[in-house]
């Protein structure tokens, strides 16, 4: 399967959001990555429903929503109505994760679980077969533009081994500090989806930067 690039809108220019959404539309990226933060689960507030609604009016690619909020199941239906194609909740924020995942799927969305850098992969062994995606956080969630945490590499390998052992078809997404220096190694360890915020949107030529990531990921 071809590897997926998911530009993170958190790093876009919010005064030129339509322009940046259209840039992603015309690029080699397959997904939009949308970070929703509540100021409780993470020490930052990003943007909420009206902004996602506006993005969805212009976006013509798969919408990958990453919820960094406590008790995420309260908003499953809301994000389904807003057009999310994948809804990812944090392992650390969901008490009844199995119910939460089934609920996400019942609305026709793909279901993902994100793990903070300190959360071990083996905690997913009894739910991996239900997951369309696992998002390994390679920074502490809450902010764009942070440095990549190197311990992500062995976690990818361990997750790939778990997925294969359970005969699951779960995608592995890497989120945080992704750039053209670590993309190749992330894919080599077993990643399927690379989220990139600052590296794409701070680039003078974001379309070319996305193509570069796409090429690295697929060679």
Stretch that binds ligand DX5, among 14-22, 82-90, 97-105, 196-204 (CB under 6 A): 196-204
- Name the E strands within 31-179: 31-37, 62-68, 86-90, 110-115, 133-137, 171-175
Query: Residue 33 forms beta bridges with which residues?
Result: 8, 64
Which CB sits closer to Zn ion, 62 or 166? 62
Instruction: Report if residue 195 touches ligand DX5, rule: CB under 6 A.
Output: yes
- Among 64, 175, 192, 212, the residue binding ligand DX5 under the rule CB under 6 A is 175
175 is catalytic: yes
- Among 3, 20, 66, 190, the residue binding ligand DX5 under the rule CB under 6 A is 66
Residue from 64, 132, 175, 192 carrying the catalytic annotation = 175
Angle at 8 between CA 113 and CA 148, to 5 degrees: 75
Residue numbers at the binding site for Zn ion (CB under 5 A)? 35, 66, 175
- Among 159, 196, 210, 216, the residue binding ligand DX5 under the rule CB under 6 A is 196
CB 124 within 8 A of CB 162: yes
Q: Which does 10 bind (CB under 5 to 8 A by kind): ligand DX5, Zn ion, none?
A: ligand DX5
Instruction: Report if residue 97 touches ligand DX5, rule: CB under 6 A.
Output: no
Q: Using CB positions, name the residue nearest to ligand DX5.
A: 197
Instruction: Report if residue 64 touches ligand DX5, rule: CB under 6 A.
Output: no
Backbone angles phi, psi at 216, to 5 degrees: -60, -45
Q: How many CB atoms lie within 10 A of CB 219?
A: 8
Stretch that binds ligand DX5, among 16-24, 87-95, 134-142, 159-167 (CB under 6 A): 134-142
> b/e for 16-44, b at 16 or more Cβ within 10 A?
ebeebbebbeebbbbbbbbbbbbeebbee
> b/e for 107-135, b at 16 or more Cβ within 10 A?
eebbbbbbbbeebebeebeebbebbbbbb
Residue from 20, 35, 64, 73 carrying the catalytic annotation = 35
20 is catalytic: no
Query: Residue 136 forms beta bridges with which residues?
Result: 115, 174
Which residues are annotated as catalytic?
35, 175
**For binding to ligand DX5 (CB under 6 A), which residues are involved?**
8, 10-11, 33, 35, 66, 139, 141-142, 144-146, 175-178, 195-199
């Amino acid at each position: 399967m071809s590897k997926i690039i998911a530009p993170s809108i958190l790093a876009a220019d919010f005064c030129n959001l339509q322009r940046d959404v259209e840039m992603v539309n015309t690029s080699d990226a397959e997904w939009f990555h949308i970070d929703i933060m509540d100021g409780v689960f993470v020490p930052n507030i990003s943007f909420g429903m009206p902004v996602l609604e506006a993005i969805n009016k212009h976006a013509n690619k798969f919408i990958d929503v990453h919820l960094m909020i406590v008790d995420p199941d309260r908003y499953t239906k809301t994000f389904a109505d807003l057009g999310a194609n994948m809804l990812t909740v944090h392992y650390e924020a969901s008490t009844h994760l199995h119910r939460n995942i089934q609920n996400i799927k019942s609305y026709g969305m793909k279901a993902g679980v994100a793990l903070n850098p300190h959360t071990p992969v083996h905690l997913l062994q009894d739910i991996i077969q239900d997951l369309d995606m696992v998002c390994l956080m390679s920074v502490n969630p809450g902010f764009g533009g942070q440095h990549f945490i190197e311990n992500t590499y062995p976690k990818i390998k361990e997750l790939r081994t778990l997925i294969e052992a359970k005969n699951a078809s779960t995608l592995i997404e890497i989120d945080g500090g992704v750039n053209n220096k670590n993309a190749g190694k992330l894919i080599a360890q077993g990643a399927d989806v690379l989220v990139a915020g600052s590296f794409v949107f701070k680039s003078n030529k974001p379309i070319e930067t996305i193509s570069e990531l796409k090429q690295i990921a697929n060679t």
